[in-house]
Structure 1
Amino acid sequence: MTTASPVLLLAPRVNETSRRLRTAAGLRGLRARTATGWQAPRELLGAPVHVYGGPLFGDAVGRELGLALLEPAEDWLVRLPLALTGRRVAATTLAEARGLRGPAFVKPPADKAFAARVYPDGGALPGPELLDGDTPVLVSEVVRFRAEYRLFVLDGAVRAGSRYAEEAELSVAPLGRDGSEVLAFARDVLAASAAQAPLPSAVVVDVGRTDGGWAVVEANAAWASGGYAAESDAVLDVVLRSAGPLAQLPVADLPFRRELPEVVR
């Protein structure tokens, strides 16, 4: 049965963030439910739905539910100044990256088509029997992040944040004593981004501390990102904006819509 009440639909693979978002949604009177499978629930067709889950879930239910799933441009990191990235970053193809003669950090810009990590050379990347050569990738100089932080951004301002790693190992904690420095750097990043490399109105930006100072790690879709120790209610605000009804999408966010496949049942 179609309803006019907004619904937060969570992916069937439950994690700590989805549990916290479900609780936060309930506290503000928003209906929340966990999907039982990888398809759009029939009873929610035509309803104002928001989703939280990974790219596979978004692709599975997004078109049928009439959603706009926001994600940063694939070349966002490339367009930032070197002073903010802390290393040279290039957008290229997997075929080109297979020609690398030395170590580099290589990752898919959005989906997890292969592991994002430091590869000793291009020969260690997935071969043509696994992935097409025209698969887009980001290639960057190797830099060591001492600590990494996730920031949930809404309308160009940080709404919530959390530490998620130290020395490349999972280390979840509130922003703590580094909070003021993290937020100050984030303001510089968001100001530069607004001028040179726009972001969707709701997004996640990861930043980190290196031996040379602060640097941007990457940007990701809020509807598919873990919240770690970030304040759940603020995370929910960002998630709701990042993945909701297409009819409610602000015009400025149109360029950041994920292309959703048509699912054949």
Structure 2
Amino acid sequence: MIRRAFIQELGSGRMEPEMRDLLGGLQERGLSTELFTAKRLERRQLPLDRETLVAGDVPTVLGALGQLGIEPPPTNDYPRSIEPFLHRRLWTSTLRKLTADIENGMSPPVFAKPQGRKKRFTGHVFRTQEDLIYLQRASLSTPILCSEVVRWQSEYRVFVIRGRIVGLRHYAGDPAIRVDEAQVEQAVRALEEAGEGTAAYGVDFGVLETGQTALVEWNDGFSLGSYGLDRSLYTELTLARWAELTEFPLG
């Protein structure tokens, strides 16, 4: 059972909107809360245990799990069970190959992003050599996920807690263009039946220019952008995922 929580602040009382909502949601539940900065966690100044929620950005939460002796959860941006909802070709590669193909004029426009949690660069559509400036700080051996370029008319995040859709929030494109909720529900059922869902997560769907509802990507339920989701639901989601994560210590 989670008895208290450490919530990340940015310093001088500044907080991400999600953390501010979470703070309020936890206080409404009567949980003891304390703000902290990433530096305090890095210096091991927080008395962590498995009954204490640690909420913040991805590096901070992974750092807390590490201090608790818990392996970070694997990344799974495109779960196998919902690949039929991609409606576009997807493949793995490396920055070395992408760079060579772009420089040699052998590649059509391609969307590429880092594979795994180490985000050496932001996902981007690469068309010409000028786009390679986005890769200046990344190693050529960096593994990447690539997909053919598609046009999104609108994009939404679907919030799921214990297999149940609890929210749908628009975050890009035309809000008047809605995803096909029957398709979204079918995808979530497929995820759950395949055992690829976690206790809480967000899965992004959008509407392509073809009118198809398609998977954008899956997102784990910690450090998750809320896009204005009701704070009580965001609090429930965060607690559910943390409780699940802390059930699996190393050794």
| Equivalent residues in 2 for 1:162-241, closer than 5 Å | 162-166=169-173, 178=178, 181-194=179-192, 198-212=196-210, 213-241=212-240
Following the alignment from structure 2 to structure 1, what is the Cα–Cα distance between the partners of residues 125 and 230?
31
Residue number in structure 1 paired with 2:154: 147
Residue number in structure 1 paired with 2:139: 132
Per the TM alignment, residue 166 of structure 1 is displaced from its structure 2 partner at its CA by: 1.3
What amino acid is the match of 1:138? L
Unaligned runs of 5+ in 2: 102-106
Q: 1:159 to 1:110 in 2, by over 3 A?
A: farther
TM-score with structure 2 length normalisation?
0.79
Which whole-Å deviations, capped at 9, do the CAs of 1:192-227 have from their partners, x for residues lacking one?
334568232322111111122111111122212211
SS where residue 224 of structure 1 aligns? coil
Q: 1:45 to 1:71 in 2, by over 3 A?
A: same
The CA RMSD over aligned residues, in Å, is 3.1
SS where residue 233 of structure 2 aligns? helix
Following the alignment from structure 1 to structure 2, what is the Cα–Cα distance between the partners of residues 215 and 146?
11
Instruction: Determine what percentage of the aligned residue pairs are the same residue.
Output: 22
Q: Does 1:8 align with 2:5?
A: yes
Residue number in structure 2 paired with 1:30: 31
SS where residue 67 of structure 2 aligns? coil
2:4–2:33 CA contact under 8 A, matched in 1: yes
Which whole-Å deviations, capped at 9, do the CAs of 1:74-101 have from their partners, x for residues lacking one?
5x2566434x112111122222332342
SS where residue 237 of structure 2 aligns? helix
Q: Which structure ranks higher in relative contact order (CA pairs < 8 Å, sequence separation ≥ 6)?
A: 1
Q: Which runs of 4+ in 1 moved over 3 A?
A: 65-72, 77-82, 121-129, 194-197, 244-247
Q: Does 1:44 align with 2:50?
A: no
TM-score with structure 1 length normalisation?
0.75
Following the alignment from structure 2 to structure 1, what is the Cα–Cα distance between the partners of residues 74 and 235?
16
* Aligned length, in residue pairs: 237
SS where residue 81 of structure 1 aligns? helix
Name which of structure 1's ranges 51-60 and 142-151 shifts more when overlaid on structure 2.
51-60
SS where residue 112 of structure 2 aligns? strand
2:38–2:60 CA contact under 8 A, matched in 1: no
SS where residue 133 of structure 1 aligns? coil
Q: Does 1:59 align with 2:62?
A: yes
Q: 1:229 to 1:159 in 2, by over 3 A?
A: same
